[in-house]
């Protein structure tokens, strides 16, 4: 009798183990990771005033259109109440070289760059976002909402001869995130728009991506669209102004 009970117990344990493995396997099928790597061709516009006068990004600083890289990864799962996670990084870089004219004189960080001065300007802007978000709709129409943090490490410099004046910006800001998308069933094509917005801190940043995506049956795809990024700096003690970066982007997508 004891051996029969022991055998039955072993069979029951084995059954539970098989069911657990099946459940875990089924759940794993619904966990997905999205990885995107791409390039953004952006134009720098706007003005900045750092302990001086208003300087236009194109006229005074001579910034040109540039390519910059970006990367993102998102992990989504079917478990309720646990948010999905998305991390991204954008690196902006633009330079300018020019001779100051009478109409483009300006001052920056207490130095006046007068008519005839030869200057080299550079902007480096690094952004890292980490977002926790929920999918409220996930079908032909998708809708996500979430919160996260944005870490900024930026530097703007003006060089004339041996004199270098630099403005550094280092901030960590809370951000809100929203995304809406629709797909064309059976085609692998989808359209989406997403937006992040800071809601406190010394810098106000608003960013929007509008894109079209195509994913093949091999889970490799391509995304293309238009990105706008606006940084308002008026709350920083020594800085005033607004920087705008706009332009098209394209990236490769892999879906695991």
119-158 pLDDT per residue, tens:
999 999 999 999 999 999 988 999 999 999 999 999 999 9
CB 210 within 8 A of CB 226: yes
Q: How far is 154 from 151, CA to CA, in rounded Å?
A: 10
Q: Are residues 242 and 154 in the same domain?
A: yes
Q: Are residues 39 and 24 in the same domain?
A: no
Q: Are residues 46 and 6 in the same domain?
A: no
pTM: 0.84
* Structural domains counted in the chain: 2
Q: Are residues 7 and 73 in the same domain?
A: no
pLDDT in tens, 179-197: 999 999 999 999 999 999 9
For residue 24, what pLDDT is reported? 38
Query: Is 106 a residue whose pLDDT tops 80?
Result: yes
Q: Are residues 21 and 93 in the same domain?
A: no
For residue 7, what pLDDT is reported? 53
Residue-number span of the structural domain to which 66 is assigned: 31-255
Q: Are residues 155 and 103 in the same domain?
A: yes
For residue 79, what pLDDT is reported? 87
Q: Are residues 69 and 96 in the same domain?
A: yes
CATH of the domain at 58: 2.40.128.90
Q: Are residues 21 and 137 in the same domain?
A: no
Q: Are residues 103 and 1 in the same domain?
A: no
For residue 223, what pLDDT is reported? 98
Query: Is 235 a residue whose pLDDT tops 50?
Result: yes
Q: Are residues 170 and 250 in the same domain?
A: yes
Q: In terms of pLDDT, which residue wins out, 203 or 223?
A: 223
pLDDT in tens, 217-229: 999 999 999 999 9
Q: Are residues 4 and 117 in the same domain?
A: no
Q: Are residues 181 and 248 in the same domain?
A: yes
């Amino acid at each position: 009798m004891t051996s029969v009970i022991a055998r039955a117990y072993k069979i029951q344990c084995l059954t539970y183990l098989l069911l657990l493995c099946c459940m875990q396997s089924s759940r794993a099928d619904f966990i997905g990771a999205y990885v995107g790597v791409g390039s953004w061709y952006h134009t720098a516009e706007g003005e900045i005033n750092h302990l001086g006068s208003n300087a236009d990004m194109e006229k005074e600083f001579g910034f040109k259109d540039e390519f910059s890289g970006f990367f993102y990864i998102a992990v989504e799962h079917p478990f309720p109440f646990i948010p999905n996670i998305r991390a991204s990084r954008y690196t902006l870089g633009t330079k300018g070289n020019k001779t100051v004219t009478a109409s483009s004189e300006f001052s920056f960080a207490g130095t006046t760059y007068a008519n005839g001065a030869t200057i080299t300007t550079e902007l480096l802007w690094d952004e890292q976002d980490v977002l926790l978000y929920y999918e409220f709709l996930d079908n032909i129409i998708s809708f996500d909402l979430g919160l996260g943090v944005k870490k900024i490490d930026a530097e703007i410099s003006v060089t004339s001869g041996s004199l270098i004046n630099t403005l550094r910006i280092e901030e960590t800001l809370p951000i809100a995130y929203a995304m809406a998308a629709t797909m064309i069933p059976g085609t692998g094509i989808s359209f989406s728009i997403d937006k992040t917005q800071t809601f406190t801190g010394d810098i106000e940043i608003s960013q929007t991506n509008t894109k079209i995506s195509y994913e093949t049956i091999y889970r490799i795809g391509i995304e293309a669209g238009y990105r706008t990024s606006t940084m308002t700096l008026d709350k920083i003690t020594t800085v005033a102004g607004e920087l705008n970066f706009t332009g098209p982007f394209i990236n490769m997508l892999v879906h695991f």
